[in-house]
């Protein structure tokens, strides 16, 4: 079971880690560029593009001329006809005021290729016969006749004009130059899906990223006047850390979590262009953002956030314009750091940081992503990294605020004095009190009477059962499940695929206090160990099979007693109840003392004891309970911890007509119809019963697995296993107290 929940919870985290490990670079100070001494802090504003009644308009791309910003946006006149896409150019000044709008006519289908020259824009696309053509537009409208080339059925990714020479790059990386309508140069591409399909003009030369026949990546710098090439091998140590490539006709830019950098292929140099940490970039109210930012020129960047909501909502595009400031407005502020693995990719954290930074004049939060600061690539290096991180926290080298439960056991860190107890701050806070939380969830945040960590949202997981098949076995303990399994017909199974060792690990770790004696030591008796071995052998498998797609069918047909699921909202729970006509029972995760009802926190936050500003840190933690932050939890489709927000979420489940399009998007792929009130009440009862959280101590899990594997194979007795396991677990627990 541990492996199952880790798979579910870690998919998003692993993707984020992969992206961030290839993109993060630490910076001591990015507020000015050393080479130019210009300020690298930008200011955000919004641009409102024209809308069209009853049309879902999306922004396709944006480019800058000398005096204007030009957007290409479009919409379908018939959502069922791919060829009904219509586009228009929207001209604004450099502060975002709309100056003109012109139809981009004469193209067959959708194009996203623009090129700017002086104060005109060329739109490049295909005609109805598949031939490439371009039309020139100025602020007054279309200028002259269309330009045509003998390029047919090629997917033109980008195009530029240098003097009298046009250059095109096609899908796959092939480049072709035309002069006076004739092809004068071609360079093949050697891969089907090269990672950059852009051309950039720099000092009247054309630059692009290519892959040669050996598979090596290289920059090609072409002089169109002489058609001479300069090849610059890509330096892995530069591109591998520079982040995700931005959209730009102005140069090559890469966005990491802390900085946007400009890369000069000709000199292989990198300079800081924008400090992400000191620029307040509004998080999108939509959960889906399409593109990397567009770097327009030396002073302007645009984010295009196309709505991920249903097209029938006709939600407008969010356009965020960033403009370079002359002076850093954050000089003299108290800087707090918030550290965590993948923290820069947590939408919720970014939203809360933005909210805090834009409402506090004396204090500012900066993120520090441990994917770069404390990287790991294996289980062994994870433990080494964790030890280093905890040592840094204990010695005062850590961040003011830390987040993310994969690294931290917050109760343990609180016990050793590495974290601030937030309970005194909560008790004297005039704006926030414990009754603002769901009671059962607030109890799970606490460690005894202390509050060392906070999380703003949650899910829960475990096994659900057919009440008819569970009759007579209402006390869902490991031993009771053993007896039930023994009584089942041969064609009926108890659990869907789960290994015997995982059953024992879950039974111990989710009920660890049950095995702690009056001296505070872990002790498991021979009888308890034997009961767990019997349970594991009867109900589990020797090894995990490939995923069995028939588990739902077996449960529905009554051939499987329990069904495993993660529940994030009322729609998911209602879907479980609808699988069978009989009453559904939440079984949780069986243990020797009963069962564990497991809460899965979203993102946990804690205040480091090393901070010199605990009051300011508490002010940030409070931000997570603001209505707009709790609302963002709802829009992602899982439970908020705030009692008021939770009630709103349940009302939306019962009355879907009151959901906004953004709230509706968080439930995509689920049945969005009304959830019956009695089903919601049963869900409330489950949430009230949650009694533990889903974080697993990986080292403890490893110890239990190693010892129990021998017992399950018959190589050790229950008595031998109980003694060795007790000794090893105690040694580990004692080592953590030193």
Nearby residues of 97 by Cβ (< 8 Å), 6 or more positions away: none
Q: What is the pLDDT of residue 17?
A: 31
Q: Is 204 left (phi over 0), alpha (psi -120 to 50) or beta?
A: left
Q: How confident is the model at residue 195 (pLDDT cuts 50, 70, 90)?
A: low
C-alpha 4/C-alpha 378 separation (Å) is 19
Beta-carbon count within 10 A of 306 CB: 22
Q: What is the pLDDT of residue 471?
A: 82
Answer whether residue 330 is part of any domain.
no
C-alpha 321/C-alpha 71 separation (Å) is 12
C-alpha 219/C-alpha 212 separation (Å) is 10
Residues 320 and 368 in one domain: no
Point out the domain boundary residue: 289, 324, 359: 324
What number of H helices and E strands is found in the chain? Answer: 20, 35
Answer whether residue 171 is part of any domain.
yes
In 624-717, alpha helices (H): 627-635, 643-654, 661-665, 677-689, 698-712
What mean pLDDT do residues 192-213 have?
82
pLDDT over 70 at 696, yes or no: yes
Mapped onto helix, strand or coil, the DSSP state of residue 615 is: helix
Mapped onto helix, strand or coil, the DSSP state of residue 585 is: strand
C-alpha 499/C-alpha 509 separation (Å) is 16
Q: What is the pLDDT of residue 199?
A: 93
Residues 305 and 440 in one domain: no
Tokens of 452: 């060392």
Q: How many domains does the chain have?
A: 3
What does the pLDDT look like over 6-37, one tens digit per residue? 333 333 332 233 233 333 333 334 455 445 57
What does the pLDDT look like over 348-377, one tens digit per residue? 898 899 999 999 999 999 999 888 888 887
Taking every pair of C-alpha atoms in the chain, what is the biggest distance, in angstroms?
Answer: 91
Point out the domain boundary residue: 266, 300, 324: 324
Measure Cα distances from 671 to 573, 640, 657 in Å. 11, 20, 14
Residues 111 and 208 in one domain: yes
Q: How confident is the model at residue 168 (pLDDT cuts 50, 70, 90)?
A: very high
Answer whether residue 26 is part of any domain.
no
Residues 320 and 218 in one domain: yes
Residues 189 and 255 in one domain: yes
Point out the domain boundary residue: 300, 324, 348: 324
Mapped onto helix, strand or coil, the DSSP state of residue 111 is: coil
Which percentage of the chain shows pLDDT scores above 90? Answer: 63
Among 284-298, 365-379, 461-475, the range scoring the smallest mean pLDDT is 284-298
C-alpha 32/C-alpha 39 separation (Å) is 4
**Which residues partner with 294 through β-bridges?**
247, 302
Alpha-carbon dihedral 14, 308, 346, 342, rounded to 10 degrees = 30
What mean pLDDT do residues 707-734 have?
95
In terms of Cβ atoms closer than 10 Å to its own Cβ (0-12, 13-18, 19+), residue 513 is: exposed
Mapped onto helix, strand or coil, the DSSP state of residue 657 is: helix
Answer whether residue 387 is part of any domain.
yes
Residues 376 and 522 in one domain: no
Higher pLDDT, 425 or 19: 425
Q: What is the pLDDT of residue 688?
A: 97
Instruction: Specify whether the CB–CB gap between 402 and 339 falls below 8 A.
Output: yes
Residues 477 and 442 in one domain: no
pLDDT over 90 at 135, yes or no: yes
Q: What is the pLDDT of residue 221?
A: 95
Q: What is the pLDDT of residue 11?
A: 30
Residues 498 and 611 in one domain: no
Beta-carbon count within 10 A of 145 CB: 9
Tokens of 592: 């020797």
Give backbone dihedrals phi and psi of 728, rounded to 5 degrees, phi first.
Answer: -65, -45
Instruction: State the number of CA atoms in the 13 A half-sphere of 294 facing the CB.
Output: 23
Answer whether residue 23 is part of any domain.
no
Q: How confident is the model at residue 281 (pLDDT cuts 50, 70, 90)?
A: very high
Higher pLDDT, 526 or 83: 526
pTM beyond 0.75, yes or no: yes
C-alpha 511/C-alpha 712 separation (Å) is 20
Question: In 3D, which of 287, 282, 257, 280 has the Cα closest to residue 633?
Answer: 287
Q: What is the pLDDT of residue 408?
A: 80
pLDDT over 50 at 489, yes or no: yes
Give backbone dihedrals phi and psi of 318, rounded to 5 degrees, phi first.
Answer: -90, 120
What mean pLDDT do residues 713-727 have?
96
Mapped onto helix, strand or coil, the DSSP state of residue 427 is: helix
What does the pLDDT look like over 211-262, one tens digit per residue? 777 777 889 999 999 999 999 888 654 554 456 889 998 899 999 889 999 9
Higher pLDDT, 655 or 350: 655
Question: In 3D, which of 513, 531, 524 has the Cα closest to residue 727?
Answer: 524
Q: What is the pLDDT of residue 105?
A: 87
Q: How confident is the model at residue 1 (pLDDT cuts 50, 70, 90)?
A: very low
Tokens of 19: 């992206």
Answer whether residue 27 is part of any domain.
no
Q: What is the pLDDT of residue 3?
A: 34
Residues 496 and 573 in one domain: yes
Domain coverage including residue 616 = 337-458+600-667
Nearby residues of 4 by Cβ (< 8 Å), 6 or more positions away: 498, 564
Answer whether residue 727 is part of any domain.
yes
C-alpha 590/C-alpha 573 separation (Å) is 20
Residues 359 and 451 in one domain: yes
C-alpha 98/C-alpha 92 separation (Å) is 4
**Which residues partner with 87 through β-bridges?**
74
CATH of the domain at 359: 3.40.190.10
In terms of Cβ atoms closer than 10 Å to its own Cβ (0-12, 13-18, 19+), residue 203 is: exposed
Answer whether residue 153 is part of any domain.
yes
The tokens 């659990």 sit on which residue? 495
What does the pLDDT look like over 527-553, one tens digit per residue? 999 999 999 999 999 887 666 667 889
Distance from CA of residue 407 to its chain's centroid? 17
Nearby residues of 188 by Cβ (< 8 Å), 6 or more positions away: 173, 174
What mean pLDDT do residues 102-131 have?
92
Among 26-35, 243-252, 469-478, 487-496, the range scoring the smallest mean pLDDT is 26-35
Q: Is 137 left (phi over 0), alpha (psi -120 to 50) or beta?
A: beta
Q: What is the pLDDT of residue 413?
A: 86
Higher pLDDT, 217 or 595: 595
Instruction: Specify whether the CB–CB gap between 69 and 306 falls below 8 A.
Output: no
DSSP secondary structure code for residue 477 in this structure? -
Alpha-carbon dihedral 495, 497, 501, 503, rounded to 10 degrees = -30
Distance from CA of residue 520 to its chain's centroid? 39
pLDDT over 80 at 486, yes or no: yes
CATH of the domain at 187: 2.120.10.30
**Which residues partner with 162 through β-bridges?**
165
Instruction: Specify whether the CB–CB gap between 310 and 289 falls below 8 A.
Output: no
Q: What is the pLDDT of residue 404?
A: 72
DSSP secondary structure code for residue 674 in this structure? P
Residues 632 and 702 in one domain: no
Nearby residues of 647 by Cβ (< 8 Å), 6 or more positions away: none
C-alpha 118/C-alpha 346 separation (Å) is 40
Higher pLDDT, 5 or 319: 319
Residues 627 and 558 in one domain: no
């Amino acid at each position: 079971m541990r492996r199952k929940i880790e798979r579910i919870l870690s998919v998003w985290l692993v993707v984020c880690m992969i992206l961030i490990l290839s993109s993060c670079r630490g910076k001591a100070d990015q507020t000015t560029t050393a080479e130019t001494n210009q300020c690298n802090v930008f200011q955000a504003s919004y641009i409102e593009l024209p809308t069209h009644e009853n049309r879902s308009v999306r922004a396709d791309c944006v480019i800058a001329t000398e005096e204007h910003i030009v957007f290409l946006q479009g919409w379908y006149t018939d959502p069922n006809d791919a060829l009904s896409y219509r586009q228009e150019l929207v001209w604004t000044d450099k502060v975002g005021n709309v100056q003109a709008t012109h139809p981009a006519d004469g193209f067959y289908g959708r194009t996203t290729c623009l090129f700017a020259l002086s104060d005109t824009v060329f739109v490049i696309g295909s005609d109805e016969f598949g031939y490439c053509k371009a039309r020139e537009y100025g602020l007054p409208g279309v200028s002259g006749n269309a330009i045509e080339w003998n390029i047919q059925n090629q997917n033109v990714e980008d195009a530029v004009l240098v003097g009298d020479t046009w250059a095109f790059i096609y899908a796959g990386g092939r480049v072709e130059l035309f002069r006076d309508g004739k092809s004068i140069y071609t360079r093949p591409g050697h891969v089907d899906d090269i990672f950059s399909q852009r051309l950039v003009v720099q000092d009247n030369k054309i630059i692009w990223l290519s892959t040669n026949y050996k598979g090596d990546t290289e920059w090609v710098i072409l002089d169109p006047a002489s058609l001479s090439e300069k090849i610059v091998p890509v330096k892995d140590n530069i591109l591998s850390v520079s982040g995700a490539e931005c959209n730009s006709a102005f140069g090559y830019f890469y966005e990491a979590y802390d900085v946007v950098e400009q890369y000069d292929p000709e000199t292989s140099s990198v300079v800081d262009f924008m400090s992400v940490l000191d620029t307040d970039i509004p998080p999108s109210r939509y959960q889906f953002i399409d593109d990397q930012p567009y770097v327009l020129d030396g002073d302007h960047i645009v984010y295009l956030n196309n709505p991920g909501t249903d097209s029938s909502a006709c939600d407008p595009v969010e356009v965020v314009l960033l403009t370079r400031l002359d002076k850093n407005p954050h000089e003299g502020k108290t800087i707090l750091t918030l550290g965590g693995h993948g923290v820069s990719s947590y939408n919720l954290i970014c939203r809360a940081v933005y909210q805090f930074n834009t409402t506090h004049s004396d204090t500012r939060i900066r993120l520090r992503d441990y994917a770069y600061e404390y990287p790991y690539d294996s289980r062994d290096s994870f433990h080494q990294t964790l030890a280093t991180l905890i040592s840094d926290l204990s010695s005062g080298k850590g961040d003011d605020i830390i987040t993310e439960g994969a690294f931290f056991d917050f109760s343990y860190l609180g016990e050793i004095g590495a974290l601030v107890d937030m309970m005194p701050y909560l008790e004297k806070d005039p704006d926030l009190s414990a009754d603002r939380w769901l009671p059962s969830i607030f109890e799970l945040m606490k460690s005894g009477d202390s509050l060392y960590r906070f999380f703003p949202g949650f899910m829960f997981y475990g096994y659900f059962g057919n009440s008819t098949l569970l009759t007579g076995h209402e006390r869902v303990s490991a031993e009771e499940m053993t007896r039930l399994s023994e009584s089942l017909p041969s064609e009926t199974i108890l659990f869907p695929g789960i290994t015997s060792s995982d059953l024992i690990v879950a039974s111990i770790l989710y009920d660890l206090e049950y095995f702690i004696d009056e001296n505070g030591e872990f002790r498991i008796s021979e009888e308890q160990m034997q009961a767990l071995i019997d349970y594991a052998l009867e109900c589990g498998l020797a090894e995990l099979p490939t995923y069995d797609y028939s588990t739902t069918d077996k449960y529905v047909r009554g051939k499987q007693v329990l069904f495993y699921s993660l529940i994030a909202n009322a729609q998911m729970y209602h879907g479980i109840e609808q699988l069978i006509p009989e009453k559904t029972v939440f079984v949780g995760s069986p243990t020797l003392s009963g069962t564990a009802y497991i809460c899965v926190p979203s993102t946990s936050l804690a205040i480091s004891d090393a901070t010199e500003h605990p009051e300011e840190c508490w002010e940030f933690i409070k931000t997570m309970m603001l209505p707009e932050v709790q609302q963002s939890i709802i829009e992602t489709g899982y439970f908020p911890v705030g009692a008021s927000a939770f009630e709103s979420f349940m009302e939306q489940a019962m009355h879907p007509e009151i959901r906004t399009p953004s709230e509706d998007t968080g439930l995509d792929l689920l049945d969005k119809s009304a959830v019956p009130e009695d089903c919601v009440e049963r869900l409330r009862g489950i949430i009230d019963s949650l009694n533990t959280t889903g974080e697993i101590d990986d080292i403890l899990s490893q110890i239990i697995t190693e010892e129990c594997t021998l017992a399950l194979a018959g190589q050790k007795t229950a008595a031998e296993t109980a003694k060795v396991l007790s000794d090893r677990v105690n040694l580990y627990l004692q080592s953590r107290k030193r």
